[in-house]
Amino acid sequence: MSDAAPPTEYDTDRDAAEVSALSKPSDEVILHARGVTVGFGSTIVLQDLDLDVYRREILGFVGGSGTGKSVLMRAILGLTPRRAGEIEVFGTNLETASDAQRHAVERRWGVLFQQGALFSSLTVRQNIQVPMLEHMRMSDRLMDELALLKIEMVGLPRSAADKFPSELSGGMIKRASLARALALDPDLVFLDEPTSGLDPIGAAAFDDLVLKLRETLGLTVYMVTHDLDSLHSICDRVAVLGEKRVLTAGPIEELMRFDNDWVQEYFNGVRALRRV
Amino acid sequence: MPCPCQSPQADLDADVGRKVYVAHGTLGKGVSPVCQRDGAGCRGSDEARMTIHPVKDMPTLTVEETDDLCRIVPAGAWTIHESAAMEAQLAELKLPDGVRPVIDFSQITTLDTAGAWLLHRFRGDLDYRGVRVDLENLRPSHRVLLGEVEKHHPPPWKPERRPASLVRILETTGREVVEIGNDVRSVLHIVGSLVSVLSGVFLRPRSLRLPSIANQFDRTCIGAVPIILMMSFLIGAIISQQGGFYLRQFGAEVYVVDLAGVLVLRELGVILTAIMVAGRSGSAFTAEIGSMKMREEIDALHVIGLRVTEVLILPRLLALILAMPVLTFLSNIAALFGAGLVSWFYLDMAPRVFLDLMQVAVTIDTLMVGLVKAPFMALIIGLVASVEGMKVGGSAESLGKHTTLSVVKAIFMVIVVDGLFAIFFSSIGI
């Protein structure tokens, strides 16, 4: 195996611009939710919530703490039971789907949990290989190479491959977890606060990475985030969760004119203005 | 699927003087990409190539060779889902010498990082051997992807090797020995800090944390009563039944009372209780302290200025030291009750007789020999559990491992210490 790669002839920057023009969101709905109601005991967290996510878009999700952003994500993933409503992912209703259909959907999505949720008794490399081992049949060599490739792509040092999650810093856990979410090159990734706890440079690199993955792999990104920079720089649309439903969703410029106190405070408040 | 044209290569050779190879591997899936048309024979490589992509998006690889050019055409979906087939096809590909290879991307329907990596690796391998490979018909998205892959090129792959087994055995043995030394040190460390905390209690009685001790006592003692009563009752009944069965052959069934009384009060009551407590409370201590360690709660206690020994270990140990004699006593009573019941129904010994014989067979010393051991057993179980809990690392696996070790070590130590006590008591003549 040659370490000396062939000389670069891929003019990535020029192409990236060209590609991003091509990779605008399409009209195809990849995730379709209608009338979703989720509650715990006597409290209703989400009521009659409707949401569409389009292929190849980067959708940012905002909302005050405790408005149910993570609950909605978990409901979509089927981790939290819902009281009413329908959710279709890739045209499959996960509630009525057969095991095989469910399996097919699970291969096509990747999830980055807020705390990383890396398996603590496996190394980073083994963590990334878990979905590959489970869903694919491939050689050890290819698995190792792809795992290392993903590790590098998400910006982790090579030495992190054989470390255990307890030996990683918070930012590294986020990246390792993203690498695991991307292990099967999914069509749809859910990111729960991916840039919280990262330094601004790391967060910007993370945003770049998400953008680049969308361009190259046609990724659809569902991102819960409070990072105003991410919302401004990479999100095609931003959805606001409040009053137990999606208040509004649209490009950020529209949201900044949306007539709601919380939204106004959020996008045009002191912190938002200070960053300009 | 039978191929309509028996020797496509010969046909092609005759037709246009170009050769078309198909790397076999996924072709068993259905249609042969070369000869799937009218059955009249293949007419030329251009046409042959055009029929490649209808194959159900399976990744395939064809090679067309002209005089000085070797065109490698991957087709279909080059994604991770069929990566094993893709890798095999690339590995089987034999390129003739002295031609310039070109990879043509025009037939690829989908390309992801796995596909891009495989093609990049293939190209890098050839490059390493001095064969330059050109890329053709790259879409911009392919180029970005290949660029990404190249930028994050993983290091050359080396299969993992394990050292020879003898060395490994020696290494493990050595590590275990060092580990035992560390264990002893940490037990001494905890005992030391316990003594210092306890001496502080006289100056500051509040540091004893009575509510915490009461809570732990409730969990380790009150909660354990039913299971310990049940288990001891059964063991007592079994001893007396088995003993009675054999002793009756000599007409000596009255000695069942001596057997059960001495055995239960001196040894079995305390041992059974210790084993049950190690399994119930020792494992709980380890898991509690261990998971607090995992989630940095222990560190939080440190920085708030609390002593882990004082807050977590001392209340548990004191509660256990109080609980063990109580539980042992209850266990003794239950076991004797079971023995009495079996003597009555199985050996026809009236309860009155059983009690009279018991009074002759055991003295208060017999009971005390058992009860005296109880606090020591509690100390051992508590210390082992705490030491193992503090050793838990960052992973769920280590939590499980140390909880297991805690129970195993505690039971082992309990039996060893019981043996030491037996030697001690017999040498002082009790």
Nearest to A212 among B135, B148, B395 (CB): B148
Query: Predicted ipTM?
Result: 0.75
Q: Does A94 touch chain B (CB under 8 A)?
A: no
CB contact under 8 A, B394 and A141: no
CB contact under 8 A, A216 and B148: yes
Neighboring chain A residues of B145 at a CB cutoff of 8 Å: 216-217
Higher pLDDT, B44 or A236: A236
Q: Does A146 touch chain B (CB under 8 A)?
A: yes
CB contact under 8 A, A166 and B114: no
Q: What pLDDT sits at residue A16? A: 55
CB contact under 8 A, A19 and B128: no
Q: What pLDDT sits at residue A274? A: 64
Neighboring chain B residues of A2 at a CB cutoff of 8 Å: 124-125, 127-128, 156
Higher pLDDT, A260 or B42: A260
Select from A165, A146, A156 the least CA-distant residue to A209. A156
Nearest to A149 among B117, B135, B141 (CB): B117
Confidence of residue A11 (pLDDT cuts 50, 70, 90): low
Q: Does A84 touch chain B (CB under 8 A)?
A: no
Checking DSSP bridges between strand A84-89 and strand A92-93, what pairing results, if any?
antiparallel
Nearest to A139 among B84, B145, B153 (CB): B84
Do the Cβ atoms of A58 and A20 come closer than 8 Å? no
Nearest to A149 among B123, B149, B159 (CB): B149
Interface test with A, best of B145, B146, B392 (most A CBs within 10 A): B145
CB contact under 8 A, A6 and B133: yes
Instruction: Find, in chain A, the residue whose alpha carbon is nearest to that of B83.
Output: A138
Q: Where are the domains of chain B?
A: 8-151, 185-427
Nearest to B395 among A121, A144, A148 (CB): A121
pLDDT at residue A14 greater than cutoff 70: no
- Mean pLDDT of the A167-190 span: 86
- Mean pLDDT of the A70-99 span: 83
The residues, ordered by sequence, that sit 6+ positions from B5 with a Cβ below 8 Å of its Cβ are B11, B35, B39, B41, B42
Q: What pLDDT sits at residue B413? A: 94
CB contact under 8 A, B153 and A4: no
Q: What's the gap in Å between the CA of A22 and the closest CA on chain B? A: 9
Spatial distance between the Cα atoms of A40 and B276, rounded to a whole number of angstroms: 39
Q: What pLDDT sits at residue A270? A: 65
Q: pTM of the entire structure?
A: 0.68
Nearest to A152 among B121, B132, B152 (CB): B152
CB contact under 8 A, B143 and A145: no
Q: Does A21 touch chain B (CB under 8 A)?
A: no
Instruction: Find, in chain A, the residue whose alpha carbon is nearest to that of B159.
Output: A141
Q: Does A107 touch chain B (CB under 8 A)?
A: yes
The residues, ordered by sequence, that sit 6+ positions from B85 with a Cβ below 8 Å of its Cβ are B25, B26, B58, B59
Q: Read off the tokens for A270.
A: 């002191």
Give the 3-state secondary structure of residue A111.
strand
Instruction: Find, in chain A, the residue whose alpha carbon is nearest to that of B79.
Output: A185
Interface test with A, best of B82, B157, B295 (most A CBs within 10 A): B157
Q: Which residues between 213 and 272 in chain A have a beta carbon less than 8 angstroms from any beta carbon of chain B?
A: 215-218
CB contact under 8 A, A145 and B81: no
Residue B84: half-sphere exposure toward Cβ, Cα within 13 Å: 8
Domain B8-151, CATH 3.30.750.24 — does that match? yes
Neighboring chain B residues of A11 at a CB cutoff of 8 Å: 143
Q: What pLDDT sits at residue A1? A: 40
Q: What pLDDT sits at residue B11? A: 40
Q: What pLDDT sits at residue B288? A: 93
Amino acid residing at A237: R
Alpha helices by DSSP H, listed for B51-164, are: 83-92, 113-128, 140-151
Rounded to whole angstroms, what are the CA distances from B164 to A162, B170, B176?
21, 10, 18
User: What's the pLDDT tens digit per position in A198-233?
Assistant: 788 878 888 888 888 787 777 888 888 887 777 888
Select from A272, A267, A239, A268 the least CA-distant residue to A68. A239
CB contact under 8 A, A148 and B113: no
Instruction: Find, in chain B, the residue whose alpha carbon is nearest to that of A212.
Output: B144
Distance of CA B11 to the CA centre of its chain: 60
Could you tell me the strand order of the sheet in which A220-224 lies? Answer: A109-112, A188-192, A220-224, A58-63, A237-242, A245-250
User: What's the pLDDT tens digit per position in A31-48?
Assistant: 888 888 888 888 888 888
The per-residue pLDDT of chain A, averaged, comes to 79
Nearest to A146 among B117, B144, B398 (CB): B117
Higher pLDDT, B363 or A98: B363
CB contact under 8 A, B396 and A121: yes
Q: What's the gap in Å between the CA of A13 and the closest CA on chain B? A: 8
Spatial distance between the Cα atoms of B149 and A217, rounded to a whole number of angstroms: 12
Q: What's the gap in Å between the CA of B143 and the closest CA on chain A? A: 6
Neighboring chain B residues of A107 at a CB cutoff of 8 Å: 81
Q: What is the mean pLDDT of each run of 10 residues along chain B (430 residues)?
A: 41 39 40 39 38 54 79 82 82 77 82 84 82 80 80 76 80 92 88 85 80 91 94 95 92 90 93 94 94 88 84 90 95 95 92 92 91 94 93 86 94 95 90
- Mean pLDDT of the A26-34 span: 80
The residues, ordered by sequence, that sit 6+ positions from A228 with a Cβ below 8 Å of its Cβ are A267, A271, A272, A275
Confidence of residue A275 (pLDDT cuts 50, 70, 90): low
Q: Read off the tokens for B188.
A: 């001494």
Spatial distance between the Cα atoms of B122 and B186, rounded to a whole number of angstroms: 55
CB contact under 8 A, B141 and A158: no
Higher pLDDT, B12 or A115: A115
Q: Is B328 left (phi over 0), alpha (psi -120 to 50) or beta?
A: alpha
| Residue A190 bridge partners (DSSP) | A111, A222
What DSSP letter does each residue of A201-247 carry, written as one string? Answer: HHHHHHHHHHHHHHHHH--EEEEE---HHHHHHT-SEEEEEETTEEE
Spatial distance between the Cα atoms of B291 and A226, rounded to a whole number of angstroms: 30
Neighboring chain A residues of B120 at a CB cutoff of 8 Å: 5
